[in-house]
Amino acid sequence: MTRLSELPTLRIDPYEELRFEYDGRPLTGVAGDSVATAMFASGVRVFSRSLKYHRPRGLYSLDGECANAMMAVDGVPNAAAETTPLAAGMRVGPQNVRGSADHDRLGFLDMFDWAMPAGFYYRLMHKPAAMWPIAAEQIRKMAGLGEMEPDHRTVGRYTETYLNAEVCVVGGGPAGMRAALAAAQYGARVVLLERRPWLGGSFEHRLRSLDDGTPAYQRARDLAAAVKAADNIRVFARTALIGTYNDNLITAVQRGANGDDFDERYVEIRAASIVVATGCIERPLLFENNERPGVMQIGCAHRLAHTYGLLPGRTAVFSVGSDGGLECAADLADHGVAITCVADCRPEGHDPELVEALRQRNVPFLAGWVATAAHGRKKVRGVSLTALDGTGTRDDSCDVLVASAGRTPLAGPVTMAQGKLAYDSHTGCFLPASLPARLHVAGRLTGLEDPAAIETSGHGAGLAAAADCGRAVETELRECDERLGQLPGPAAGSGLVRSPTHGRKAFVCFDEDATVKNVRQAIDQGFDVPELIKRFASVGTGPGQGGLPGHNLPMLVAELRGMPPESASPTTMRAPMVPVSMATLAGSSHDMCKRTPVHDSQKLPGAIMRRIGAWRRVRYFSDDLLCRAEVRNVRTNVGMLDGSSLGKFRLWGPDALNALQRIYVSDMAKLRPGRVKYSAMCNDDGCVVDDGIVIKRADNEYYLTTSSGRAGQTVEWFRYHTRYDGWDFKMVNLTDALGVINLSGPNARTVLERVADARVSNDAFPFSGYREFTLLGRVPARVMRLGFVGELSYELHVPSSYMRAVWDGVAAAGTDLGIANFGVEAQNIMRMEKGHLIVGSESEQRTTLNDLGLGFLWSRNKPEARTVGSVALAQTLEQPDRLKLVGFRMDDPEHTPRDGSIVVDERIRGWVCVARNSDALSQAVGMALVDEPLSGEGTTLQIYEDGCGGNLATARVVPMPFYDPGGARIRM
């Protein structure tokens, strides 16, 4: 197809050819083409098949507003060919076709529309019931447009950028550019977003001269040059809005161009003020076969010619409702398209200059006429027209029908930001009626059509935005408003909702094959509001969402129900305003995983790392998941564990003790320096939320530890529960500032002696003791003597920056003894053998301190402290039938139930929190939460494992700890 190559508006290079593949055929486009225009240039007219009826569909809006031109591009389905730039070597294919788009074996379905009324699947297909599962599979296969292969990998560079602008202008047309320039003139930092690759909006492709004689396209380019020259305006072209959110947060997606370091990127802008100048899209005219290939909107025909140099057809009929249609007809006539006639559904109010232009070109102009039906099957071949006053009809042949009922403001960004729309009978549009603070609208979005008014409104909006940023604009803003008042206001719209037809194939929603008739059927079935009809008849729920049907649906519903148009309200517009790929949204990886200071020392051969909460830690140091070697080395020798993820806090100040008394169940007044105190925190239900160690380092100076998972919430927990007290205490989270080495085993002291600059004998540093001394001659350490794993054990807390040196020093000091790492699972086994619990493992959300058998920690002698949970602890103390934590021993020592197995009789009576085959004990033991009546020592528990098929295992409740009940080993 030859291109118009001399037009000054062209955005293509007709001499740079790009080869690509469509449905297996080699085709050629040119630089600057979109995939769709390149296909059109190669003669493709049927781009896809529709969802239900498999009707042929062609170019319609050229802005990707419906699924008509959604294709599979390089294996990615549902790509909008109209907005995807052509690249050499692309592989493009049609969607939802059996065969090809031109010859679709399911095309016959179009004849069976009578069998598929609105919501037919709700009323049929379930009878007989046995048929439904088969029918459901068929629906699945028939529905859906594009195909995604399960092993497809989308490759590309997807990045993100986060901006903080003073003014964000959405829409780079004349109004948006003027707004950006006005704000920039007052020094505001401006970001301008434009969906298309170039600025210019409705001026960009038009040859018509403005009042001062400048052609519109030239004006657009002049403004674009001024915008580009402004230092404080940053332009994001090829950037489509995703949404407008609270506090002027704007998100968008930008397609990369040559030279960009991304293919697509997510753009997020926090702006002090927003100008929305998104303009209008065209409103589909509702008539029979209003979506036949060859039926297209004004902008589509106009831009095919002016932007891409492609004539939309040889013989055209126009059925329009705005002056833009007249202008387009005159231009196409100049380019050699035979214009059979131009019908305008407005009986009056046309631009006389354009009517005259048509007359000069001998184009018949039919005021008050409208298309009622397009003819032809795969391509439009003719059209029937009727006078709206009933005075006549005519039939014309054509190969392109430019059809449009008027314009629809793109108000989604306004409503998403909580602005409100109202129906305006003058324009026949839903226009912004109330705006949120710091958001302004301008241009065609407000109903304006006069070019000078569009620009002036943009200028005013830019000034208002600058005012939001504290700029003194009053004088100029007042002048601007006065000037705008003298310019033509919003142009009258057609108000026409549909042409006088029965509407059997007049499509309200192309993507869902929903017709005027379907909407009527929905109303007849009791669906009376657009939101319900949208759901019932699927109007506006397809890939193009509510864009095209967004105006027509509420207006049609009002008309069919005999309601005034003012009563109509559009369905909610929702983000994303354009479909956005997950690759772009996901952007670069945001994994916030934490590593301990000695992470590398843990990555030993055979070590199995796990993500545990926020941390990556070693769970096993070999593929023996029972960790026998690790456990044995600790039980008989010495091992070391990287416990750096432990929550660690400094708490100090005059009221620090009060805070401790409030949060911990124990009496913290009894803390003595040099000793550790184990205690727990409960919530208001008396349920345990955390446990840990508290140390009094000096008066009003405490150090405490929490579980790894709770560390992030602990400060907030303290602050919340003391919020009304006005206490003077301070708290710092030291979790990341200090590393922890757990040194355990009978030889632990020997190792510690070699690195500690202090006496650590059993007398000098007994069990439950706390000491501060230096390690390796210079590293300050906080050392506590604990027994979580049931052996002689020290916890060394050292500054993270020295952690590596200390770790290596301790390891070196133990080398001759055979010191070895042990991991989280080995620790888990040993603490279980010792009967020590882990909150969250042996407790549920509903487990109280008493249920865990830790009631002894609770001090009732401090009522003045109003300890969190103490009321509930008292109230639940004698409560029957609670789940209690018990230890159990399996009757069959060879059989260890899986964690999570349940305890049953006739009912479920509890569950196994943890159970292991204990190498040290040669028994299978574990802990379970069971109904209180089953918690007595010696009770037999019946254990039901998943997949056991009813073969229960049995266990006996036994006292804990299982290992070293006397505690001699931790005190050795």
Partner 1 sequence: MFLLPSTPLWDTSPPLKSSYDAVLIGGGLHSLATAYYLARDHGMTNVAILERRFIGYGGAGRNTAIVRANQRTQENVPLYQEALDLWPVLTRELDYNLMFYNCGNLNLCHSEAAVTAARMNIASAQFQGVGSEFLAPADVKRMVPALDVSDRPRHPIHGAMFHPPGGIVRHDAVVWGLAKGASEQGIHIHQQTEVTGIRAVDGKIQGVETSRGTINSPRVLLSAGGYSAGLSHRFLGVRLPISPLTIQAMVTQPLKPLLNHVVSSGAYHVYCNQTLKGEIATGAHMDPWPNYTTQTTAHYLKHQAEALTDILPCLRGVRFMRHWAGLADMTPDMAPIIDGNDPVEGYYLNCGWGYFGFKSCTSTGKYVAQYLATGERPEILEPFRLSRYKQHRLMGETAGAISYTPWN
Q: Which of 25, 103, 105, 126 binds partner 1 (CB under 8 A)?
A: 126
Applying CB under 8 A, the span of 288-296, 330-338, 529-537, 931-939 interacting with partner 1 comes to: 529-537
Residue closest to 205 by CA, chosen among 306, 109, 107, 129:
306
87 makes contact with partner 1 (CB under 8 A)? no
> Would you give the binding string for partner 1 spanning residues 678-707, x where CB under 8 A is met?
-----x-xxx-x------------------
Q: Which is nearer to partner 1, 263 or 891 (CB)?
A: 263
908 makes contact with partner 1 (CB under 8 A)? yes
Q: Which of 50, 78, 827, 918 binds partner 1 (CB under 8 A)?
A: 78
Distance in Å, CB of 580 to partner 1, minimum: 6
144 makes contact with partner 1 (CB under 8 A)? yes
Q: Which is nearer to partner 1, 261 or 591 (CB)?
A: 591
Task: Extract the tokens encoding 253.
Answer: 């997606």
525 makes contact with partner 1 (CB under 8 A)? yes
Q: Which of 504, 610, 670, 759 binds partner 1 (CB under 8 A)?
A: 610
Applying CB under 8 A, the span of 138-146, 366-374, 453-461, 644-652 interacting with partner 1 comes to: 138-146
- Type of residue found at 143: A
599 makes contact with partner 1 (CB under 8 A)? no
Rounded to an integer, what distance in angstroms lies between the CA atom of residue 603 and that of residue 618?
A: 8
Q: Which of 5, 88, 99, 139 binds partner 1 (CB under 8 A)?
A: 139
Q: Which is nearer to partner 1, 251 or 742 (CB)?
A: 251
Q: Which of 6, 149, 231, 389 binds partner 1 (CB under 8 A)?
A: 149
Q: Which of 163, 575, 614, 758 binds partner 1 (CB under 8 A)?
A: 575
Residue closest to 598 by CA, chosen among 622, 615, 614:
615
Applying CB under 8 A, the span of 317-325, 422-430, 431-439, 577-585 interacting with partner 1 comes to: 577-585
Q: Which residue has the tokens 């593929």?
A: 623
529 makes contact with partner 1 (CB under 8 A)? yes
> What is residue 687's DSSP assignment?
B
Peptide bond before residue 605 is cis, with ω within 30 degrees of 0? no
Distance in Å, CB of 278 to partner 1, minimum: 18
Q: Which of 170, 301, 383, 580 binds partner 1 (CB under 8 A)?
A: 580
Contact 7, 308 (CB under 8 A): no
3-state secondary structure of 764: coil
Q: Which is nearer to partner 1, 598 or 868 (CB)?
A: 868
504 makes contact with partner 1 (CB under 8 A)? no
Give the helix/strand (H/E) hosting 793: strand 793-799
Q: Which residues contact 426 (CB under 8 A, 6 or more apart)?
A: 447, 490, 492, 493
Residue closest to 343 by CA, chosen among 278, 298, 293:
298
Distance in Å, CB of 666 to partner 1, minimum: 20
663 makes contact with partner 1 (CB under 8 A)? no
Rounded to an integer, what distance in angstroms lies between the CA atom of residue 16 and that of residue 37?
A: 15
Q: Which residues contact 856 (CB under 8 A, 6 or more apart)?
A: none
629 makes contact with partner 1 (CB under 8 A)? no
Q: Could you tell me how far CA 782 lies from the centroid of its own chain?
A: 44
Q: Which of 98, 425, 720, 818 binds partner 1 (CB under 8 A)?
A: 720
Residue closest to 530 by CA, chosen among 561, 501, 494:
561
Rounded to an integer, what distance in angstroms lies between the CA atom of residue 645 and that of residue 618?
A: 12
Alpha-carbon Rg for the chain, nearest whole angstrom, is 37
Looking at the DSSP bridge assignments, the partners of residue 385 are: 371, 394
Q: Which of 140, 348, 362, 389 binds partner 1 (CB under 8 A)?
A: 140
Contact 798, 806 (CB under 8 A): yes
Give the helix/strand (H/E) hosting 888: strand 883-890
907 makes contact with partner 1 (CB under 8 A)? yes
Rounded to an integer, what distance in angstroms lies between the CA atom of residue 349 and that of residue 328?
A: 17
367 makes contact with partner 1 (CB under 8 A)? no
Q: Which is nearer to partner 1, 212 or 591 (CB)?
A: 591
Applying CB under 8 A, the span of 460-468, 574-582, 754-762, 793-801 interacting with partner 1 comes to: 574-582
3-state secondary structure of 167: strand
Give the helix/strand (H/E) hosting 679: strand 676-682
Calculate the alpha carbon distances from 275 to 485, 622, 648, 651 in Å. Answer: 20, 61, 48, 49
Contact 627, 620 (CB under 8 A): yes
Q: Which is nearer to partner 1, 167 or 688 (CB)?
A: 688
Distance in Å, CB of 138 to partner 1, minimum: 10
Q: Which is nearer to partner 1, 264 or 399 (CB)?
A: 264
125 makes contact with partner 1 (CB under 8 A)? yes
Contact 16, 62 (CB under 8 A): no
Calculate the alpha carbon distances from 897 to 813, 891, 910 in Å. Answer: 40, 11, 14
Residues in 16-55 that interact with partner 1 by CB under 8 A: 51
716 makes contact with partner 1 (CB under 8 A)? yes
Residue 789 gets the label, from left (phi > 0), alpha (psi -120 to 50) or beta, of alpha
Residues in 226-245 that interact with partner 1 by CB under 8 A: 242-243, 245
- Type of residue found at 938: G
- Type of residue found at 793: S
247 makes contact with partner 1 (CB under 8 A)? no
- Type of residue found at 267: V
Give the helix/strand (H/E) hosting 908: strand 908-918
Total of chain residues touching partner 1, rule CB under 8 A: 114
944 makes contact with partner 1 (CB under 8 A)? yes
161 makes contact with partner 1 (CB under 8 A)? no
Q: Which of 4, 249, 435, 487 binds partner 1 (CB under 8 A)?
A: 249
Q: Which of 541, 601, 700, 768 binds partner 1 (CB under 8 A)?
A: 541
Residues in 842-901 that interact with partner 1 by CB under 8 A: 844-846, 848, 872, 875-876, 879, 882-883, 898-901
Residue closest to 700 by CA, chosen among 668, 675, 666:
668
75 makes contact with partner 1 (CB under 8 A)? yes
Applying CB under 8 A, the span of 3-11, 477-485, 521-529, 667-675 interacting with partner 1 comes to: 521-529
Q: Which is nearer to partner 1, 578 or 695 (CB)?
A: 578
Residue closest to 584 by CA, chosen among 576, 574, 592:
576
Contact 609, 808 (CB under 8 A): no
Applying CB under 8 A, the span of 1-9, 367-375, 587-595, 774-782 interacting with partner 1 comes to: 587-595
Q: Which of 4, 237, 612, 817 binds partner 1 (CB under 8 A)?
A: 612
Residues in 642-661 that interact with partner 1 by CB under 8 A: none
Q: Which of 1, 15, 26, 129 binds partner 1 (CB under 8 A)?
A: 129
Q: Which of 186, 262, 266, 962 binds partner 1 (CB under 8 A)?
A: 266
Residues in 764-823 that interact with partner 1 by CB under 8 A: none
Give the helix/strand (H/E) hosting 77: strand 76-80
Residue closest to 659 by CA, chosen among 709, 708, 716:
716
Applying CB under 8 A, the span of 37-45, 325-333, 535-543, 958-966 interacting with partner 1 comes to: 535-543
